[in-house]
Amino acid sequence: MTARPEVTHPPRSRLGRGGPFPWLLPVGLTIALFYLIPILDALRLAFTDASLLGREARFSLDAFGAMLGSPALGTVLRNTGVYVVASVTGQMALGLVIALLVVRGERHRLPGMVAVRTIVLAAWVIPGIANGVLWQMLFSEAPFGAVNSTLRLIGLPPVAWLSDPGMAMVSVILATVWQGTAYSMILLYAALRTIDETLYEAAAVDAATPLERFWFITLPELRSALLVNAILVMVMTLNTFDVVIALTGGGPGRATEVLALHTYTTVFRGFDLAGGSVLAILLLMISMLAAIGIAAALPRGEGR
Amino acid sequence: MSGTMVRGRGARIADAATYAALLPILAFFLAPILWLLSLSLRTQREVFLGAARFIPQEPTLANFTRVLTQSGFGTYLWNSVQLSTLGALGAVAIAAPAAYAFSRIRFRGRPALMMGILAVQMVSGLVVLIPLYRYMDRLGLLETHFGTMLLYISAGVPVTVWLLKIAFDAVPEVLEEAAFIDGLGRAETFVRITLPLAAPGLVSAVILNLILNWSQFLIPFIMLSRDAKWPISVAIHNFSGAATASTTQLLAAACLMSILPALIVFVVLQRLIVGALTSGAVKG
C-alpha cells in the first residue's frame, strides 16, 4: 500500500522537474517572429509613407487618408460583404443539408454514403488557384465553354458568367461554395453524430413531424457547432483571394475585388506598403469583430 | 434503429428521397472534375466541340506529356513536393513539444495561451506577409526555398498545435505514469512513450499540413519570382494568364496535375484526415 503514493498525487506534482516553458519555446518563438512582430510592424508601417521599393519611411498619416478616403474602398467593402455573407451562408446551408442526408443514410444503412462524403471532400483538397482556373474553364464564355455549351445543347441562351459584373460575383461565390462546403459538412456531420438518439425516439413517441424534429431538436443541439463553424468559415472566406484572383482577377472592373485581393494589389502591384498595411489592419479588425460578434452568441458555461 | 417497427413503405420512400436529394448534390461536386478530365484528354479540335464531345472520341495523353516536358511542370511538381513535405514536417516538429505541454502540464495561463494560438490562426497571411517580405529581403532569403519553407512552417504551426494537443489527449496518462515511476524524465517519456503512441495523430497532422501546403499560393507567389523555383500553384496561375482558347486542353492537363497528387493522398488516407478534422470539431 505505502509503495504507491505516486498514483494519488495530482498531475501538478509529477512535473516538479521544470515548468512548461522549454516546451513552449519553439512555438513561442515562431509566433513571436512570424506573427506578433510582423503585426506590430504592419501597424507601424500604416503610420508611415513606406513603399515596397525601399525608400526611407517617415511618420505620416497620409496612408490612412488615402486608403480610407479612396472611392474604391466603398466598392471593395460592399463586394466583400456580399461575397462573404453569400459564400458562408451557401457553404453552411449546403454543408448542413449534405451532413443531414449522409447521417440519415448511415442510420438506415444505405450504401454509398462514404462515396458521397469522399466526393464532396475531394473539392476541398483542390488548391484554391486550381479551383479558380477550373471554374474559369467551366464559365468560359467561348462557344465551347462547359456551362454555356451545355445550355446551348438544351436550347437555352448563354450566360455572361464572367463579363457581366453581377454574374461575375455569382460565379465567384459558386466556385467558393463548391470548394468550401466540405469543411462545413464534415464539422456538422461530426456534431450531428453526437446528438443523443433518445431525443429523436422521444420525438417519435410524440409523433413529431420531420420538420418539427429538425426545428426543435437538431437545430438547437447544433447551435454551438453552427456558430463555431460560422466563425471559422467566415474568417477563412474573408481572407480568401486565390480563387478570386484566378477566376476573375477582381474584375470586370472592380466587380469582384474583395478586401483581401484589394490589399494584395495595393502592396504588390501598386508598391504601396503603407496603404497595404492600412488595408491589412482593416481586414484583421473586420475578422476579429465578426468573430467576436458571432462568439457572443455562443451559449455560456459550455467552456470546453 | 428508431424506425425498425414502422419500417415499411414510408421508410422506403424516405430512402428514395434521400438518394433523390443527394443526386443533384453529387452532380454539382463531381461535374467540374469530370469536365476537367474530359478537356485534358481531348485534342484541340475536340475542345472546340464543347459539351457535345464530353466523352472524347480520340482521347490522348499528349497534353500531359507536352505540359510535363515542354512547360516545366515536372520541376514545378517536384518543387511543390519538397516545399510541402519539409513545411509539414517542420510544423509538426515545432508544434509537438508545445502541444504536449498543453495536453499534460497544468500551468497558469494555459487556456489563455491556447485561445491565443487559435486567434493567431485566424490572422490573414496578407497582414503578416507584408512585413515578413521585408525581413526576408533584408536577410537575403527572397527567391529561396529555405525562406519560403520557413513561412510554410510558420503558417502551419498554430493549427498543428491544436491537432497534436488533441492527439496527445487521447494517449492514456497512466502509461506515462509508469514511465515516470521507472525514473524516466519528462522529455524521455515524451519521446519514448507518448510520441509512438500518438503516431496516428502525428501522421494525420503531417498529412493535413501537406494538403494545406500543396494549396499554398500567397507565400510562394510573393517570395519566388523566378519560375525555376515555383511550386505548381504559382505555375498554373502564370500558365492560365498566358493561356488562349487554343491551349485550353493544355491548361486543363496542367490544372489536373496540380490537383491529382492532393486528391490521391486524400482518397488513400481519407480516414485519417476526416479523423483529424472531426476531432477538432468535437472538442470545439
The C-alpha cell that represents B229 in the structure block? 523555383
Are B282 and A191 contacting, i.e. CB atoms less than 8 angstroms apart?
A: yes
CB of B253 within 8 Å of a chain A CB? The answer is no
Residue B124's CB is within 10 A of a number of other CB atoms, namely 21
> Which pLDDT band, with edges at 50, 70 and 90, does A10 fall under?
very low
CB of B267 within 8 Å of a chain A CB? The answer is yes
Does A153 reside within a domain? yes
Cα of A153 vs its chain's centroid, Å: 36
> Which residues, in sequence order, are CB contacts of B2 under 8 Å at separation 6+?
A197, A200, A201, A204
Does A300 reside within a domain? no
Q: Do B259 and A105 touch (CB under 8 A)?
A: no
Least confident of A121-130, A289-298, B2-11: B2-11
Average pLDDT rounded to a whole number, residues A118-145:
88
Residue whose C-alpha cell reads 488513400 in the numeric block: B268
Q: Do A127 and B267 touch (CB under 8 A)?
A: no
**pLDDT value of position B5:** 47
Does A18 reside within a domain? no
C-alpha closest to that of B43 among B254, B246, B256: B246
Give the CATH number, domain containing residue A164: 1.10.3720.10
Residue whose C-alpha cell reads 420512400 in the numeric block: B13
Enclosing domain of residue A170? 73-194+224-295
Q: Using CB atoms, which residue from B124, B245, B267 is nearest to A284?
A: B124
Residue B250's CB is within 10 A of a number of other CB atoms, namely 24
For residue B198, the 8-state DSSP code is T
Q: What percent of chain B has pLDDT over 70?
A: 94
CB of A292 within 8 Å of a chain B CB? The answer is no
Q: Using CB atoms, which residue from A52, A118, A127 is nearest to B214?
A: A127
Average pLDDT rounded to a whole number, residues A204-209:
82
Q: Do B130 and A224 touch (CB under 8 A)?
A: no
Pick the CATH number of B71-283 from 3.30.70.260, 3.40.1800.10, 1.10.1060.10, 1.10.3720.10: 1.10.3720.10
Rounded to whole angstroms, how far apart are CA atoms B196 and A304? 27
Mean pLDDT of chain B: 85
Rounded to whole angstroms, how far apart are CA atoms A207 and A213? 10
List chain B domain ranges: 4-63, 71-283
Does A248 reside within a domain? yes
Rounded to whole angstroms, how far apart are CA atoms B185 and B255? 50
Rounded to whole angstroms, how far apart are CA atoms A185 and A225? 11
Tens of pLDDT, residues A184-196: 998 898 888 888 8
Rounded to whole angstroms, how far apart are CA atoms B121 and B129? 14
Please spell the DSSP secondary structure of B203-266, one letter per residue. HHHHHHHHHHHHH--HHHHHH--SGGG--HHHHHHHHHHT--GGGHHHHHHHHHHHHHHHHHHH
Does residue A5 have a cis peptide bond before it, meaning omega lies within 30 degrees of 0? no
Three-point CA angle A287, A228, A131, nearest 5°:
65
pLDDT at A218 over 80: yes
Mean pLDDT of chain A: 84
**pLDDT value of position B86:** 96
Which position has the higher pLDDT, A102 or A251? A102
CB of A94 within 8 Å of a chain B CB? The answer is yes
**pLDDT value of position A301:** 52
DSSP alpha helix (H) spans, chain B: 9-40, 44-47, 62-70, 73-104, 110-121, 125-138, 145-169, 173-181, 186-189, 195-197, 199-215, 218-223, 232-241, 248-268, 270-283
B48: exposed, middle or buried (Cβ count in 10 Å: 0-12, 13-18, 19+): middle
Q: Do A12 and B106 touch (CB under 8 A)?
A: yes
Are B212 and B175 contacting, i.e. CB atoms less than 8 angstroms apart?
A: no
Q: Do B278 and A187 touch (CB under 8 A)?
A: yes
Q: Do A27 and B122 touch (CB under 8 A)?
A: no
Tens of pLDDT, residues A227-285: 888 988 999 999 888 899 999 988 788 899 999 999 988 888 877 788 888 888 899 88
Q: Do B124 and A273 touch (CB under 8 A)?
A: no
**pLDDT value of position A144:** 80
In total, chain A counts a number of residues equal to 304
**End-to-end CA separation in angstroms for chain B:** 28
Are A171 and A247 contacting, i.e. CB atoms less than 8 angstroms apart?
A: yes
Q: Do A39 and B128 touch (CB under 8 A)?
A: yes
Average pLDDT rounded to a whole number, residues A2-30:
64
Average pLDDT rounded to a whole number, residues A175-189:
92
**pLDDT value of position A280:** 87
Residue A140's CB is within 10 A of a number of other CB atoms, namely 19
Q: Using CB atoms, which residue from A125, A143, A304 is nearest to B284?
A: A304
Average pLDDT rounded to a whole number, residues A30-51:
86
**pLDDT value of position A109:** 86
CB of A222 within 8 Å of a chain B CB? The answer is no
CB of A276 within 8 Å of a chain B CB? The answer is yes
The structural domain count of chain A equals 1
C-alpha closest to that of B211 among B255, B256, B145, B258: B258
**Pick among A37, A80, A134 to test the B interface (most B CBs inside 10 A):** A134
Average pLDDT rounded to a whole number, residues A163-178:
94
Cα of B32 vs its chain's centroid, Å: 20
Rounded to whole angstroms, how far apart are CA atoms A86 and A171? 12
The C-alpha cell that represents A262 in the structure block? 484589394
Tens of pLDDT, residues A105-114: 988 888 888 8
Are B208 and B163 contacting, i.e. CB atoms less than 8 angstroms apart?
A: yes
Rounded to whole angstroms, how far apart are CA atoms A128 and B223? 18
| Whole-Å CA distances, A28 to A21, A33, B157 | 9, 9, 10
Question: Could you list the pLDDT tens digit for every one of the 284 residues in chain B?
Answer: 444 445 577 788 888 888 999 999 999 999 999 999 988 888 877 777 777 777 888 788 878 888 888 888 889 999 999 999 999 999 999 999 999 999 888 888 888 898 899 888 888 888 898 889 889 999 999 999 999 999 999 999 999 998 899 889 888 888 888 887 788 888 888 888 889 888 888 988 898 899 899 999 999 998 998 888 999 999 999 888 887 777 888 898 989 999 998 888 888 887 777 776 666 544 43
Does A117 reside within a domain? yes
**pLDDT value of position A91:** 95
Q: Using CB atoms, which residue from B124, B157, B232 is nearest to A30?
A: B157
> Which pLDDT band, with edges at 50, 70 and 90, does A146 fall under?
confident
Q: What percent of chain A has pLDDT over 70?
A: 90
Q: Do A17 and B126 touch (CB under 8 A)?
A: no
Does A282 reside within a domain? yes
| Whole-Å CA distances, B144 to A53, B9, B131, B156, B226 | 19, 65, 17, 19, 10
For residue A299, the 8-state DSSP code is P
pLDDT at A35 over 90: yes
